[in-house]
Amino acid sequence: MLASQRDGLWITVGEEKMLNFSSNDYLGLSTHTEVCAVAKDAIERYGVGSGASRLVSGDAPLLHTFEQALAAWKGFDACLVVGSGMLANIGLLQALADRHTHIFSDKLNHASLVDGARLSGAKVHRYPHLNLDVLGNMLQKHTAKQRIIVSDGVFSMDGDTADVQALLNLAETHDALLLIDDAHGTGVVGKHGKGLLTQAGIVGHSRLLEVGTLGKAFGSYGAYVLGTHEMIEGLKQRMRTLIYSTALPLSVIAAAQVTLHIMQNTDVVEKLQQNIQYFLSQAKGIHLMPSTTAIQPMLLGEDEQALLAAQRLRTQGFFVPAIRPPTVPQGQSRLRITLSAAHQKQDINALIHALFNLG
């Protein structure tokens, strides 16, 4: 790993200062003046750390206020804030599943979902990426009493999206729960960035759980689980990664509260969506993988090709790292370009010019 220092849209690696097209800070809010000021004020008021797990003495009122606001915005009954997306998915699947459970997981799911499924002790069935016919056949074949369908919403390395309505239809048909990780959809997809499930009109369904992160479009840190009141109350008693982890610092919750207000009341999400559309309109002819999200991968194939392309971009002042196995399948190394609301048209134009001249 190379040490790096971010400064808004810029990143410095060693002696090189480059325009950053690799961050998941999709709305540019991690450095927003108001967000940073509120976080600083929260440190002065509450201190740096929370001091204990939520079930001991770290369950501050601010956490409850934010959970209620996020659940209402997302259209779910209840919300539970936890330490990170990794902790959320591992703890959630361990709480929901045991050795009698069957989990049906997309082959390109995030590592947190993969590890959560493995560590739960459940029987895991992996279906080909986005192949709902195979998933349907698997559900028909494996008729366990407890079944869970697990999928990313927006896939982090491909930028494509799951058909969440079709997945919910399968869950209803086969009496299963559906868990969607919308970490890369929240703040990016749909009106005000409410995410993939809101766009599909299925939020709040009794079979549905949504996981998301505060560390991407929210520009802060932590994660959340959304579901019914009954489900969330049960998780508070069974989710080991919540019970045995120190609660998040209130500074990051205060920051996330402000970013939620900004998403709801400004055009920042619309600016990101406009940047995505502009990039796609100007990038015709570049070998991009199919995506309408902020993640725009350029498939190059072998590791050496991706590493060489990333290095050439660095010499032109752009930071777009090469993504290689085991993060992606063998022979599918790529540049993972990510767009932000903070990018200007001239930034995008300059990157596209560099991409066209890679060969």
pLDDT tens for each residue of 71-88: 999 999 999 999 999 999
**What is the rounded average pLDDT of the residues 335-339?**
97
- Among 101, 113, 118, smallest CA distance to 181 is for 113
CA distance 330 to 128: 16
CA distance 287 to 306: 13
Q: Predicted confidence band at 219 (pLDDT cuts at 50, 70, 90)?
A: very high
Q: How far is CA 79 from CA 220, 224, 248, in A?
A: 17, 7, 15
* DSSP 8-state symbol, 81: E
pLDDT at 1: 67
Q: Predicted confidence band at 236 (pLDDT cuts at 50, 70, 90)?
A: very high
Domain boundaries, the chain: 4-32+267-356, 50-248
- φ, ψ (nearest 5 deg) of residue 109: -60, 155
Instruction: Indicate if the pLDDT at residue 324 is higher than 90.
Output: yes
CA distance 336 to 11: 16
**Domain 50-248 maps to which CATH number in 3.40.640.10, 3.30.465.10, 3.40.120.10, 3.40.50.12160?**
3.40.640.10
**What is the rounded average pLDDT of the residues 241-252?**
97
pLDDT at 6: 80
**What is the rounded average pLDDT of the residues 120-146?**
96
**Residue 359 CA from chain centroid, whole number:** 32
Q: Is the omega angle on the peptide bond into residue 61 within 30 degrees of 0, that is, cis? A: no
Q: Are 169 and 136 in contact (CB under 8 A)?
A: no
CA distance 120 to 168: 22
Q: Are 167 and 151 in contact (CB under 8 A)?
A: yes
**What is the rounded average pLDDT of the residues 302-319?**
94
Instruction: Indicate if the pLDDT at residue 156 is higher than 90.
Output: yes
State the virtual CA torsion across 40, 42, 46, 52 in degrees, nearest 10: -100
* DSSP 8-state symbol, 247: P
CA distance 286 to 283: 6
**What is the rounded average pLDDT of the residues 83-112?**
97
CA distance 130 to 261: 34
Strands 177-181 and 208-213: parallel
Q: Predicted confidence band at 358 (pLDDT cuts at 50, 70, 90)?
A: confident
**What is the rounded average pLDDT of the residues 321-335?**
92
Which stretches of the chain are assigned E, i.e. beta strand? Answer: 4-7, 10-13, 16-20, 78-82, 102-106, 123-127, 147-152, 177-181, 208-213, 223-227, 295-301, 318-319, 322-323, 333-338
**Residue 114 CA from chain centroid, whole number:** 15
* DSSP 8-state symbol, 136: H
pLDDT at 91: 97
**What is the rounded average pLDDT of the residues 15-31?**
94
**What is the rounded average pLDDT of the residues 1-22?**
84
Give percent above pLDDT 70 in the chain.
Answer: 99
> In sequence order, what are the residues at sequence separation of 6 or more whose Cβ sits closer than 8 angstroms to the Cβ of residue 55?
236, 242, 243
pLDDT at 92: 97
**4-32+267-356: CATH superfamily:** Aspartate Aminotransferase, domain 1 (3.90.1150.10)
**Residue 325 CA from chain centroid, whole number:** 20
pLDDT at 15: 83
Q: Are 341 and 269 in contact (CB under 8 A)?
A: yes
**What is the rounded average pLDDT of the residues 138-157?**
96
**What is the rounded average pLDDT of the residues 292-298?**
96
Place of tokens 């079930």: 55
pLDDT at 359: 63
Give percent above pLDDT 90 in the chain.
Answer: 92
Place of tokens 């010019």: 353
